[in-house]
Amino acid sequence: MTETPEAPSPPERRSAVRSLLRLWPYVRPVRRTMIAGAAVTVVASCASLVIPLALKWIVDGPVAGKDPSGVWLGGALVLVLGVVEASLFALRRFLVARPLAQVEADMRADLYGHLQRLPVSFHDRWPSGQLLSRGTTDLMLLRIFLAFPLTFMLVNGVTILVGFVVLLVQQWMLGLVLLAPVVPLVILCTYFEERYSRAARTAQDQSGDLATVVEESVLGIRIIKGFGRHRGQERAFDALSGRLRGTELRKAHLLGMLWAVIMSLPELAIGAALVLGVLQVADGDLSAGTLVAFLSTALALRWPVESFGFLIAIANESATAADRYFEVMDVPVPADRTTTSASASTSATSATSATTVGGKSGAVPSPRPAGEGGGLRLEGVGFRYPDAPADAPPVLHGVDLHIRPGETMALVGTTGSGKTTLTALIPRLHEATSGRITLDGEDIAVMPRERLRELVSVAFEDPTLFSASVGENVLMGAGAGREADLARALEVAQAGFVHALPEGTRTQVGEQGLSLSGGQRQRLALARAVVGDPRFLILDDPLSALDVHTEALVEAALREVLAGTTALVVAHRPSTVLLADRVALLSGGRVTAVGTHHELLRTSREYASLMAGDEDRSAAADRTYARHEGGRR
């Protein structure tokens, strides 16, 4: 728990410009507003360059001619120019704020949609904090970049260009003195840019890791407190936070050096131009007004030049943010891309022809194809986790199993034998690496995901509830307009406790349903699985947290539901196995025996051992096995 989560290693660094150019599809719809905003800013910036020219006119004209009314006129002109400049900057902000908030929202929606479609194996590999930071901090950085540095790099570039033309026209020699630092500035900026961009990437990844640790600490607070692990967790947090602080300091150091270079070289040039200019005025080669205008223009260009350090830094961080965003967006969604379905981990919706759970209350059962092609069939199915070591054997290989239409099959096997993995292949939470799985003869690999979600419903041992009401959590498993089934589903799952909650089925159960007990959450997850009267029901040990009495009640109600549904139920306890018509034993990655509970007790020592219970398991298994062997003879 105290280990630092690791983000998947970043790909080769591309140039900042190429990274930022990838934002174009999102910026395209708002390009006109952006161009208008930039044009307004260029005009505002150029207005600021006219002010020195007005000053030159004041100094060489009214001041030299001792004309007070001219000075007032000049002052009024400078004031108007200042007001125009400020108003245009405000107009720019007004123009771009809304469209850029939309760009950020669109990118976030795309990221969220993509995360929902990516397979479970992707989510197994990626720390959640990394995804969280990409969807929040990185997107915020990109919005800031589009709103500010992107425009100002352009505007300041144009301003500097226009400013230098004005300077060269006024006094070409002094203009060249000011231009002298450009080449060393470009070289030094490139040097710092490369280092800064590496530090920015490291800092953004580290802040994602930190978010993961915080999230784990909050979600796992019971374990942390229960095992007194808060010191260990604090150490992990401190270590990560210390590393992030170090990286941020490195960034600040680099930025400081960049600023120092960008500020000092132009200042030196302005100083040199001032000395030369004063000498020229003294020699009578230059008017005092021209020198004032020249120096005012040079000083007006100070901020556009100096701001480049800051703009380069934000642009680099934004390029890194774009890289991190597209790293996730570039992960392909496997196989059919027709899906728009929501999280694979939620329960699925129902077959559309039935209206109630368990075929009661006038429900019309869905037509269920019979015969060899019907039901749920696995043919030579194999599976290996993508991140498993190359030399590790596959979790499943050559699994053959046929569950007849309307039949309930229990799946048993030792812990770690691959039961959960096998159940995850049917709703395609993981893709089988070999073989095929058919539902009523239809291959799930070529089935649109929406259809698969309609056919198959799932409930897992570890039930996830969302920050929503009890009713909304359960009805996630049903199509629209299935509210009428809620009461029946709650009844099947023996979830009557919800009526005692403060607001009944409208009670909010909070993040992860933490306000409910494990058994209560399991029952709601079970209700979600059965609410839509699915044609195929996959239950991964859904009753493990229930007491024996409640389990018996749930089983009795489930038997009604399962009577009309083809079901695969992972079972650890004989009581759950007894729900099933037949049992499949998973061993060594394949199904080694199929039969009724009693048949398998007679014919399989491994099965008898599994069913014998925890106490003195092998001795009991031997007794059971011997008793049946004796009975047969």
Contact set with ligand ATP (CB under 6 A): 124, 385, 387-388, 395, 413, 415-421
Contact 531, 486 (CB under 8 A): yes
Q: Which amino acid is at 187?
A: I
Residue nearer to ligand ATP on the CB measure, 58 or 545: 545
Query: Cβ of residue 399: shortest distance to ligand ATP, in angstroms?
Result: 12
- Residue found under tokens 């190429």: 18
Residue nearer to ligand ATP on the CB measure, 195 or 573: 573
Residue nearer to ligand ATP on the CB measure, 145 or 383: 383
Q: What does 316-355 look like in DSSP terms, one character per residue? A: HHHHHHHHHHHHHHTSPPPS--------TTSPP---SS--
Query: Cβ of residue 615: shortest distance to ligand ATP, in angstroms?
Result: 19
Instruction: For 428-462, give the secondary structure using H, E and C.
Output: CCCCCCEEEEEECCEEHHHCCHHHHHHHEEEECCC
Structure tokens, 438: 């058919």
Q: What is the enclosing helix (H) or strand (E) of 383?
A: strand 376-383
Q: How far is CA 113 from the centre of its chain?
A: 9
Residue nearer to ligand ATP on the CB measure, 42 or 395: 395
Query: Cβ of residue 590: shortest distance to ligand ATP, in angstroms?
Result: 13
Q: What is the enclosing helix (H) or strand (E) of 260?
A: helix 230-282
- Helix, strand or coil, per DSSP, at residue 147: helix
Structure tokens, 203: 């800092």
Residue 28 exposed, middle or buried by CB count within 10 Å (0-12, 13-18, 19+): exposed
Residue nearer to ligand ATP on the CB measure, 464 or 507: 464
Contact 399, 570 (CB under 8 A): no
Structure tokens, 404: 């007849």
Residue nearer to ligand ATP on the CB measure, 166 or 411: 411
Residue nearer to ligand ATP on the CB measure, 488 or 521: 521
Ramachandran bin of 127, using left for φ above 0, alpha for ψ from -120 to 50, beta for the remaining angles: beta
Residue nearer to ligand ATP on the CB measure, 69 or 415: 415
Q: What is the enclosing helix (H) or strand (E) of 73?
A: helix 68-117
Residue nearer to ligand ATP on the CB measure, 297 or 522: 522
d(CA 181, CA 553): 84
